[in-house]
Structure 1
């Protein structure tokens, strides 16, 4: 809510020469249309040291940090527009709910394939298609994962060099580096019963972490109500123990109550930098590769303004960095010939690196909600009433949902929790052999490793297994309603993403395989039952006048909950893990230096590299990861190291001809067989309907 032969070398030189004729370096007055580096006339230089694919969260962090070195040139290629024409929809926090850009041209408007466990319904997967990416359109929650989750990520690297760069002790300062925290004023703090520990926050970073300038009074009931059912308020949710109940920080600039997102934080405030160019409306179609010893190397990046537009290229002097997110980055890799050979070969795409993990491990937070009628004021009712002097103010329009809680497995299941964990462990072999979309043994090994980490490290801990969100911005039942949402945080259900066309403008096949692992429905059901309990608990129950959905007369038993929830669940907008950082022998895509296996100068820097989902929203860990990546890349090149000497090697089969067999055709990719669910253990099997809802 709230991405060998001399003839080949000669052809490469000819291509580069042609590129030089098209894109001679431009005079400074043409090279930069504005001080922040955004190019409005489409004119860029012929090559750059770093070409960043994607101008979303991570891409703009990298652009800002890498271009701090004045002798380094940086280009960002962003598929979407600048967002200048819709700044009010972006900048005003409340417009995330009342004037959303979702469903417009500023949204990729992805959808999943039909989901068997959701009665074959497709699920909408919105993603920001604009400078700033999803940080320009999301619900602005700034929530950190817990220390154990980051440490588990590092441990999954099996001791590889650089693994500790992703542990809590390394990422905590990077998250703080991105942060400019402002404490709430006393009236807001008292109204919302807000707690925080200033020592856990950064105060000089680019991204504003703060609180709305107006709170609906019911927010103040949240943590007390959770406390009554045994989920205690957390006075320091950002210090490594992110469980319990609290009021989350939001990406709001408290000076003017505007959205603080990757563009406004990292790009707009920059002084003039002639070494930085950001080109909007430029969809990357593929990386052009050449042999580099035992690896392959990106020499150019190919892009076009729209489907059918002339294809252009720009040279890569040092690195190509993919920051297209969990959908964009694996898609570009596959179109470039890096990915599962069984997907690429039927399309006629030459396989430069057979990397079966690309597009695997796809995960998301699946969410549902219980809706109540209320006698209390809600932001939606105030907004619709247009109370003079209040709803038109910037402070009022800064109100967004921020009350949150993370119950652990014992909070959800009580005494049944140990049996539940035992059932999961007893079925680990079944799950990794039956539910994994790939038949590749390395990918299966990676699934086994992440399943084991979830079942035996994270689940028995205090880390939250479900997220609860208190929504006061209206529901489909009207303005005078509130909702309590529940979302699975560490899904055992994993999916895949792959291309089925050689046209880079065709959307990829997205299959998260929601609820394919029956443990997930149990956790989600119990989270929704907990949401109902909260509506019946003091002091919140004093303003609840009834349950509208599912309704206590309609749904009470576990089978009734299971049958109902699959009809209302949808994404919480947190796709991840499709270019997982795991060992190569475990189906990994990138190593701990973020470099793609089998390549010498291609990295992935975005949420696709997380090997597991976190019990948190993904903005904060991605900001921290991008800051770490920028520091890592700058140190690497400033120390004069050679990338080819530090990268792990994947089996590479460099074709004698570059590119694909066609530029705009389509074909059928390899699709895996339907999932066969095992009846093992005490799990509940699914056969009911689903309809996605958008949980902002």
Structure 2
């Protein structure tokens, strides 16, 4: 007979908590929220010092906050320029809101823009980034698409000559488990699997992580034709998606909590469950303006972070006793380094910032995924039509959980044929020196060498393999339309971003140099051809009526290229402004994420990837933050499992914890930290 002690313990704890809570006022839920929110501090209540100061409460920053405070002897402050997001929680938590009620172009978005791009129609591109706790994980489209094993190993190879042991942390063998650690996977509903014709594998997902991973509560009929049509076009469905092989098609999972059909993101999953920890503080609406360093020789030691709530507000300093960790994202991280005097000498001098450490790679090597859609009139009802209908079904949580998730990945061989791909890859590889001499937006020898290293990796370790260069994405959220985007995955164009003022509240200059390398335009052109082939490919083509974009007048290669120059937009995946590369190659951080020339400052976010992956950025960045947490704790001789959950200082809290656990499991958008 099985033991009854777990049930008896649960009953005893429930009775204990009930007895304790019988003396609690009727507004207990309000008190509970106050208990969990005690981690929020103000400028008046923030302590003078913390062991770790995390600059940025975005995707990576909140993972770090949760993992570092596992050790109750370690104090952590998160500095976030945006709000907590509580006032827009419904828009964040509703998955379909990413398409129908987006927070982009609101105060919860940094609303960055590039400078005019001369090779892309002289247009200024929007670069939205989340300005709220959770960062872009609170506003993105929730795709979970991991990189290929080949790509991850190529990343590690770039660092192995500098520090083989540290570089191994970024190999597939060690990085893949870090990505799995972040998530708890729930299979799709049977009806969703049937309608969407979905192939999935629990083997390639985690089972105990904070992030909830699943599929929407409903599925649109058009999705069912995706896999068989892509297979007819030479891209068979992946039988184990997200397991290291990416060439093919998939209807992928998303960051969705199937218990209540809400968005799972870093605030809900990592931060909210630990906000009552006494060693964690979160200060919102406060922008870091610079890092403070101690005087001395050798690598500079950070002693604190200066911050302010507004451009004209008073500047205050919080001390960092152990480390400063920068998690400001692809724009914010190089920006804070440069305003702290760390970066290219010529940039800092022109901006009027005193040089502390000359590091020419800060803000360099910037890359981004570009995308463009083919759009047809829909011959059947789309999610956009249902949204517009105002029906009772359109208001259900199940329907509001619907997000786009059908994708496919194609390599050079699929785009050009075997001989054409070999010739195109050779053309690219042979052009390395010429491109390095003409296309690098820096005179630094180190940055030029870094450009070559990245270019060589893409040309000779990516483009001649089964790794994709184009992603196809199905979009069903516009009434009366079916769209399929072709997105460039391994751009050879590299740009930069830099400050041109000493005012940290002034947005930096962003110049990605889109289409500066001609191969990017050629690959996108072939991607559009592949998308258009779907019109002749059953059964997916049964959903497609007349093509409205690019339209029947765009026919020749030259027509398509002209159209792309004036139509392509960002896929919202910029990376590499603080690249993990050797210092001799314009790198900003080493394989332990430490900023070169600084003794105790690291960068942990998507800015450190040295080249783009054929994937979406979120999945790898959660893994990056998990891996970084282990590195930081190990390097500072701190146990990684000192506490699992919340501190329990009293009998009252024990009772409250029981009920809080039940409450969070039933309604929370995330999961408890394992």
TM-score, normalised to structure 2's length? 0.88
Matched, 1:604 2:594: no
2:189 matched to 1:185?
yes
Q: Secondary structure at the match of 1:432?
A: helix
- Give the distance between the partners of 1:433 and 1:621, measured in 2 at CA: 32
DSSP 3-state at the match of 1:86: helix
Distance in 2 (CA, whole Å) between partners of 1:542 and 1:496 is: 44
2-structure distance, mates of 1:313, 1:41? 13
Give 1:480 deviation, angstroms: 0.4
Question: Matched residue of 1:318: which SS?
Answer: strand
1:536 counterpart residue number:
536
Which residue does 1:583 correspond to in 2? 582
Counterpart-to-counterpart distance in 1, 2:38 and 2:507 = 29
Q: Which runs of 4+ in 1 moved over 6 A?
A: none
Q: Is residue 613 from structure 1 mapped to residue 612 from structure 2 by the alignment?
A: yes
C-alpha displacement at 1:348, in angstroms?
2.4
SS class of match (2:300): strand
Task: Report the counterpart of residue 687 of structure 1 in structure 2.
Answer: none
**Deviations 1:77-128 (CA, angstroms, capped at 9, x unpaired):** 0000010000111000011111111000000000000001012110000000
Q: Equivalent residue of 2:82, what SS?
A: coil
> Any conservation in 2 of the 1:178–1:206 contact (CA below 8 Å)?
yes
- Cα distance in structure 1, aligned partners of 2:523 and 2:457: 17
> Which among 346, 349, 352 is matched to residue 348 of structure 1?
352
Match of 1:217 in 2: 221
Q: Deviations over 1:414-443 (max 9, x none)?
A: 131111111111211011111011111111
Whole-angstrom distance in 2 between the partners of 1:362 and 1:36: 37
CA-to-partner distance for each residue in 1:342-390, whole Å, 9 max, x for gaps?
10012221111100000000011011001100111110001101222x1
Distance 2:312 2:360 in 1: 30
2:499: which partner in 1?
499
Matched pairs, number: 604
Are the structure 2 counterparts of residues 435 and 271 from structure 1 closer, same or farther at C-alpha, using a change threshold of 3 Å?
closer
Q: Which has the higher helix share?
A: 2
Q: Matches of 1:39 and 1:598 in 2, distance apart?
A: 33
What does residue range 259-658 of structure 1 map to in structure 2 within 5 Å? 259-270=263-274, 272-388=276-392, 390-414=393-417, 415-474=419-478, 479-552=479-552, 554-638=553-637
Decide which of 195, 198, 202 is 1:198's aligned counterpart: 202
Contact 2:371–2:485 (8 Å) recurs in 1:
yes
1:163-190 CA distance string (max 9 Å, x none): 1110101111000000111111211111
How far does the alpha carbon of each residue in 1:55-84 deviate from its partner, in whole angstroms, 9 at most, with x for none? 000000000000110000000000000100
Larger mean CA deviation between 511-520 and 406-415 belongs to 406-415
- CA drift of 1:270 comes to 2.3
| Structure 1 contact 237–243 (Cα < 8 Å) conserved | no
Are the aligned partners of 1:37 and 1:278 in contact in 2 as well (CA < 8 Å)? no
Instruction: Assess, with a 3 A threshold, how the Cα gap between structure 1 residues 360 and 271 changes in structure 2: closer, same or farther.
Output: closer
Q: Give 1:585 shift.
A: 0.6
Question: Structure 1 residues 592 and 496, CA, compared in 2 at 3 Å: closer, same or farther?
Answer: same
Q: Secondary structure at the match of 2:395?
A: coil
Query: 1:148 and 2:150 equivalent?
Result: yes
The one-character-per-residue Cα deviations of 1:311-356 (angstroms, maximum 9, x if unpaired) are: 1110010000000001000000000000000100122211111000
Q: Secondary structure at the match of 2:624?
A: helix
Aligned to 1:688: none
- Structure 1 residue 619 displacement after superposition: 0.2
* Offset at residue 559 of structure 1 (A): 0.3
Residue of 105, 114, 121 corresponding to 1:112: 114
Corresponding residue number in structure 2 for 1:71:
73
State the Cα distance separating 1:299 from its structure 2 match: 0.6
Tell me which moved more, 103-112 or 271-280. Answer: 271-280
Aligned to 2:397, what secondary structure does the other structure show? coil
Q: Distance in 2 between matches of 1:271 and 1:336?
A: 30
The TM-score with structure 1 as length reference comes to 0.86
CA distance in 1: counterparts of 2:355 and 2:426, whole angstroms: 42
Between 1:154-163 and 1:592-601, the stretch displaced more is 154-163
Q: Report the Cα offset of residue 196 of structure 1.
A: 1.7
In the alignment, structure 2 segments of 5+ residues that lack a partner are: 1-30, 640-674
Residue of structure 1 equivalent to 2:655: none
SS in 2 for 1:64: helix
Mapped to 1, the partners of 2:250 and 2:296 lie a distance apart of 51
Q: Are the counterparts in 1 of residues 498 and 509 from structure 2 also a CA contact under 8 Å? A: yes
| Aligned equivalents of 1:180, 1:160: Cα separation in 2 | 35
* 1:92 has 2:91 as partner: no
Matching of residue 52 in structure 1 with residue 54 in structure 2? yes
Q: Bigger shift: 411-420 or 73-82?
A: 411-420
Equivalence for 2:256:
252
Check 1:36–1:158 CA distance in 2 against 1; reply closer, same or farther (3 A cut).
same
Q: Distance in 2 between matches of 1:158 and 1:111?
A: 36
Name the SS of the counterpart of 1:249 in structure 2: coil
* Residues 1:639 and 1:50: Cα distance change in structure 2 (over 3 Å): closer
Distance 1:355 1:426 in 2: 29
* Cα contact 1:36–1:269 (8 A) shared by 2: no
Partner Cα separation in structure 1 for residue 53 and residue 104 of structure 2? 28
Question: Greater CA deviation, 157-166 or 73-82?
Answer: 157-166
Q: What CA distance in whole angstroms lies between the structure 2 residues aligned with 1:425 and 1:262?
A: 39
Bigger Cα displacement from structure 2, 509-518 vs 425-434: 425-434
Work out the CA distance in 2 between the residues paired with 1:347 and 1:451: 30
CA distance in structure 1 between the aligned counterparts of 2:264 and 2:148, rounded to whole angstroms = 23
Give the secondary-structure state (helix, strand or coil) at the position aligned to 1:120. Answer: coil
CA drift of 1:292 comes to 4.8
